[in-house]
Amino acid sequence: MDCFLPRNDKMNFKQNDIITRNTGDTPTVWLSQRLVMDVCNISDLHFRKNRATYKNSVQKCYHHHNILPDTGKGWRWAKMDAGFYYDLSRIPNRSPQNYRELFGDAAELVKNYNDFLNGTQTTEFETMFKRHLNQVYRSYLEFYNNANEIQRPALAKACAVIDFIIEYKDNYQGTKNKIYKDLETVLKKLDLQYIPHHHLRLKEKIDELFETESLAIPDVIKLPRTGNTNSVVFDDPELKSWAMQMRQMPQNYSNDYIIRKINEMCELTGKKIPSRRWFGQNVFELPATKFLTSKRFGSSRKSHIFKSYIPRQNALYSGDCWEMDATRVNITSHIDDGKDKFLMVVAIRDVHSGDILGYSFDHSENRRVYENAMAMAVQKTGYLPYEIVTDRFPGHNTPEMEELFVRMEALGVHIELSHDANRKAGVERFFRTLQQITMPDSDYFYGDGIMSRSLSAFRSPEYIAQIKKESKKAGFDMYKAVEESTNIIESFRSTLYSKYSRKHSKLHKSPRQLHEESEKPHVIQLSEAAISMLFGRKKEIQIRNNGQIVTEVLGIKMHYFISPAYYDIIKNYHSKSVVLSYDIENLDVVFLWEKHGQLLKSLCEAEYFEPAQTFGPNKAMQQVGVAKAREKAILELKENDIAEVMGEENLLLGRYGKKDELNTADDYYNGAAIPIKKVSGSDVLPDNESGIFDDFRSEY
């Protein structure tokens, strides 16, 4: 058996036989003189001579050191722990002694020594047994194909134990039971299954094998209770049928109720009543039963673990899809109109980046709050997405919202109204993430939704009562609730994914950054006019007074002038009703549209005109000049139109036509310049006397 083990496995270690010192990149292994003498069979006199020889190879300035420097000579030594130690790497390995080879590999030597110190040192017998076990057990796997993946190798290793005993018991030194007693310790240490650990029970297995010549090793190694039919008392398929029928019923009866009912049926039919454990092992705890009877949950939350789903990839670019949904903001209530009310938020989430591009707050879901959230998203980004997914929210079928969706679709947006929560799972998950990441930082946060099953989902009733009392003292109204909710959402948008997501632990970017950096090849870029057409406030007005518009916004009279550059619009739509759209936050420019069913046709824009102050010490006559210059430009365009039309008619009349109109038409067609003369009493100066008209032209 010596051939199975390396030389260092036989060493008789003692305390402090090996010391490891890290003096550089490679640790130095020092062996005690006692260990070297025991292994190499060298006398103490030999070591005295070797120490003197090595010391002479070292510079004299190092002679007083306890650990002598490495000179490359053999038998480098040191004095530590009141004894002499020798560097393992400097033990000579010259023939015929080959002292160094007697210690084997340095790492293995240190490991065996550490095992000795920890009491886990592997004996020569254990090493030999493990080697035999690893070489033989695979040949017995084929006899246990019916066992599971855990039992099969364990049974094969039990056969290998019997194989080891048969091979070595005849030549094993000691008494006949010594091999069994030695194996008892090893088997307990390795905790092998399906084989007795006690030496007497182990010997009985071998005796059983040799008493019957027809038995093979796999015949004596079996699974416990194999072939035992004592427990098979109820093999009646009718009992299982009753249990399965009641288990799949939509009433979702409890196990105890089903067992009681079946026991009553057994009493009526004379069948033997099975035990409670029988129902669990043969019906209720079987995976097949849980799978086949999942319909008892109906459409409840528990049924989802049994339903299949379609895996979906994330959007490739920002703007590919926006998801829109509403939920309650889980902060304490506020007083509004003398009543406790909670905020609702509608959020627009970009699927690719997870950024919240738009949001709006109200006390309830309605079409206005959804429209405001979309307006915020479009105004901030300047584009419409390829697709918008939302549910059938309250007000989705109102004329105003239907008009908005039709206009978006006319611009190329795909609108999907879905009742399936999985279709907009991203924004649904966002609300849950918001409750876990940034809402707990708010002093007014009262906990997750009532459907949450998390242990940390809810604050204590005492804490909720306290924050409600403090919020009332602080005057927590709707404006402060909106401000608090806005801070919560904006904090989420700036939080790096790596700070809270295990899935995205290496993504050191926030949703806001991802949206800004992402390419957007599929979006629909919008002009300021298009945004106003979709989300601006609208009213019907008439164009009068050569393109002037007078309207009221929030009770304030506003004046807007259409530029002469849009002369055709002024001419063709004068006194006609058109649609005016404006942004309440920017009233410098309004946009005019012609209505075509639910769609709007763009006409032009009109700029705000500051009424001229012509009275008092703060007179500002410049606005008068601007208005008159614009009026002059429109009159010139009007006269040219008249001249063109009237000239054609007079040319056809020949000598019966009016001479001045014939001359005007002739000059117009020949491109002759018509000088403008100042009329007596006119306040409008010619072009050569005033630069106001030129300045006005340059603006357009």
Q: What's the CATH number where 579 sits?
A: 2.30.30.130
| Segment 463-485, tens digit of pLDDT | 888 888 888 888 888 999 999 99
pLDDT of amino acid 7? 44
Residue 51 domain flag: yes
For residues 360 and 470, membership in a common domain is answered with yes
For residues 490 and 546, membership in a common domain is answered with no
**670 or 43: whose pLDDT is higher?**
43
**479 or 668: whose pLDDT is higher?**
479
Is 276 a residue whose pLDDT tops 50? Answer: yes
Residue 193 domain flag: yes
pLDDT of amino acid 378? 95
Q: Which of 220, 252, 268 is the endpoint of a domain?
A: 220
**357 or 700: whose pLDDT is higher?**
357
For residues 11 and 103, membership in a common domain is answered with yes
Residue 334 tokens read as 């506020």
For residues 488 and 561, membership in a common domain is answered with no
Residue 496 tokens read as 């790096």
Residue 663 tokens read as 């001359």
For residues 403 and 512, membership in a common domain is answered with yes
Is 222 a residue whose pLDDT tops 80? Answer: yes
Is 424 a residue whose pLDDT tops 90? Answer: no
From CA 688, how far away is CA 444, in angstroms rounded?
70
Do residues 553 and 595 lie in contact, with contact meaning Cβ atoms separated by under 8 Å?
no
pLDDT of amino acid 699? 35
pLDDT of amino acid 5? 36
For residues 462 and 355, membership in a common domain is answered with yes
Beta-strand pair 83-87/28-32: antiparallel
For residues 508 and 408, membership in a common domain is answered with yes
Q: How confident is the model at residue 688 (pLDDT cuts 50, 70, 90)?
A: very low
The residue whose two tokens read 């799972």 is 425
**479 or 24: whose pLDDT is higher?**
479
Q: How crowded is residue 237: how many other Cβ atoms within 10 Å of its Cβ?
A: 7
For residues 497 and 383, membership in a common domain is answered with yes
Please, how many CA atoms are within 13 Å of residue 172, restricted to the half-sphere of its CB? 20
> In this structure, what are the phi and psi dihedrals at residue 331, rounded to the nearest 5 degrees?
-120, 165
**117 or 40: whose pLDDT is higher?**
40
Of 73-82, 286-295, 643-652, the range with the lowest mean pLDDT is 643-652
For residues 586 and 691, membership in a common domain is answered with no
Q: Which of 68, 86, 118 is the endpoint of a domain?
A: 118
For residues 657 and 552, membership in a common domain is answered with no
For residues 484 and 533, membership in a common domain is answered with no
pLDDT of amino acid 228? 60
Of 42-56, 405-419, 608-622, 676-690, the range with the lowest mean pLDDT is 676-690
pLDDT of amino acid 232? 54
Q: How confident is the model at residue 122 (pLDDT cuts 50, 70, 90)?
A: low
pLDDT of amino acid 647? 58
Residue 212 domain flag: yes
Residue 264 to residues 250, 255, 305, 447, Cα–Cα distance (Å):
21, 14, 33, 47
For the CA atoms of 198, 202, 203, 205, what is the dihedral angle to 10 degrees? 150
Residue 311 domain flag: no
Alpha helices in 555-656 (DSSP H): 567-572, 622-653
For the residues 116-133, what does the mean pLDDT come to? 78
For the residues 302-306, what does the mean pLDDT come to? 74
Please, how many CA atoms are within 13 Å of residue 362, restricted to the half-sphere of its CB? 14
Is 685 a residue whose pLDDT tops 70? Answer: no
Eight-class DSSP state of 271: P
Residue 271 domain flag: yes
Residue 614 domain flag: no
Collect all residues with Cβ–Cβ distance below 8 Å to 26 and sequence separation of at least 6. none
Do residues 50 and 57 lie in contact, with contact meaning Cβ atoms separated by under 8 Å?
no
Residue 512 domain flag: yes
Residue 32 domain flag: yes
Is 23 a residue whose pLDDT tops 90? Answer: no
Count of the separate structural domains present in the chain: 6
Please, what is the average pLDDT of the chain? 83
Residue 533 tokens read as 């057409």
Q: Which helix (H) or strand (E) holds 84?
A: strand 83-87
pLDDT of amino acid 525? 94
For residues 370 and 497, membership in a common domain is answered with yes
For the residues 602-625, what does the mean pLDDT come to? 84
pLDDT of amino acid 578? 93
| Residue 335: domain span | 322-517
CA geometry: angle 96, 101, 102, nearest 5 deg: 95
pLDDT of amino acid 676? 46
pLDDT of amino acid 535? 92
Query: CA gyration radius for the chain?
Result: 48
Do residues 104 and 88 lie in contact, with contact meaning Cβ atoms separated by under 8 Å?
no
Q: Which of 118, 149, 167 is the endpoint of a domain?
A: 118
Of 67-71, 536-540, 695-699, the range with the lowest mean pLDDT is 695-699
Longest Cα–Cα distance of the chain, Å, equals: 153
